[in-house]
Structure 1
Amino acid sequence: MQERVEKSLSSAEDMIYIATAVVLIVAAITLLAFSVFNFFEGFNGHIGQQISQLLDGLLLVLMLVEILHTVGIFLKKRKLVIEPFLAVGIIAAIRRVLIITAEQVNPTPEHAAVFRMTMLELGLLAAMILSFVFCIFLLRRHGRDEPVEMEE
């Protein structure tokens, strides 16, 4: 009886992971098409803004693909890999840095306090990116990027 329950739960878990993978694929393809369409449609003399928006969309697509990769590894090996999560964190932080820098093109003296907070956020994001990269370096150097066995 317990074995049947465990098998049913495992099958339900697989179906949820497969459904999640399908949604991630659809979301990534839709976002990619939308980003490229907006890039080519929106040429109005502000090429820098268009490139920034395209890059923002593409980085979000990369985040979705990294999460999809993690789901795929789990479905194949029933193991969790840590490095893709760190890669998603790096991409998310870089994406935020790009958004902040695009917004701060023309700072004004009236916004000095906001500017200081923005610089603090950029500093924290840079520290976060460096710590994620250092974690990946340690994982690869010490050979501990092996998938973690999940309890069944």
Structure 2
Amino acid sequence: MNTGVSDNSEPEPTRPGVAASIWALEHAQDFVSVAVGVVLIVLAATLAVSGVVSFAGDVQKHSVATAAINLLDRVLLVLILVEIVHTVVLSLRAHRLAAQPFIVVGLVAVIRRILFLLSNENIIPTSELALLIGMVVAFVAAYLAVSYFEKPDPEDGSVPARGPGKKNSPDTVGPSGG
């Protein structure tokens, strides 16, 4: 019975039509990823510039503290967009998704929400603030866990994962050897 899995580690030859389709789809995926990255960079730059312009106007109309909070909100949004672009770049390089950038985006988004709640002059909902603080702890724990157990990526020179039974050796550490 043929299960479609070969006994050896060699991949089975692909039919020319299927290979061409795979090639076209991979290049289309890369094109879309690059286009998304460019749009996100333009959006991040626009938000950064408009944040600085708004900051100058807010300083004149409101207090410096209010202007700073509004600018910080914009800067954190730009940071989220830059982390998403970083994820797109990693995806283009390795054709796989990394967990850490998504965790960072979630963490920054939660911190943005906390800052928004704290900057609001209304009564702060204690239950929402407690939930958000719990989410920060969960995101930090997830980031540490992924950093601890994730396999090294030789393409981007990342430091190897540390985990049970794993030891650092000079040939597994990034391009500089340590």
The amino acid that maps onto 1:65 is V
SS of the counterpart of 1:79?
Answer: coil
User: Which of these residues, 31, 48, 55, is aligned with residue 32 of structure 1?
Assistant: 48
Q: How many residues get paired? A: 136
Q: 2-side partners of 1:128 and 1:83: how far apart?
A: 15
1:70-123 superposed Cα distances (whole Å, 9 cap, x missing partner): 0001111212110010000000000000111111x254xxxxxxx5xx211111
Query: Which runs of no fewer than 5 residues in structure 1 stay unpaired?
Result: 108-114, 148-152
Q: Which moved more, 1:72-81 or 1:24-33?
A: 72-81
Query: Which runs of no fewer than 5 residues in structure 2 stay unpaired?
Result: 1-16, 154-178
Higher helix share: 1
Q: Which moved more, 1:4-13 or 1:133-142?
A: 133-142
- Give the superposed CA RMSD: 1.4
Point out 4+ residue stretches in structure 1 off by more than 2 angstroms. Answer: none
User: Which of these residues, 126, 134, 143, is aligned with residue 127 of structure 1?
Assistant: 134
User: Which of these residues, 123, 141, 144, is aligned with residue 148 of structure 2?
Assistant: 141
Which is greater in Rg? Answer: 2
Q: 2-side partners of 1:145 and 1:56: how far apart?
A: 34
TM-score by length of 1: 0.84
Q: 2-side partners of 1:75 and 1:82: how far apart?
A: 15
User: Which of these residues, 74, 85, 91, is aligned with residue 91 of structure 2?
Assistant: 74
Name the % identity.
35
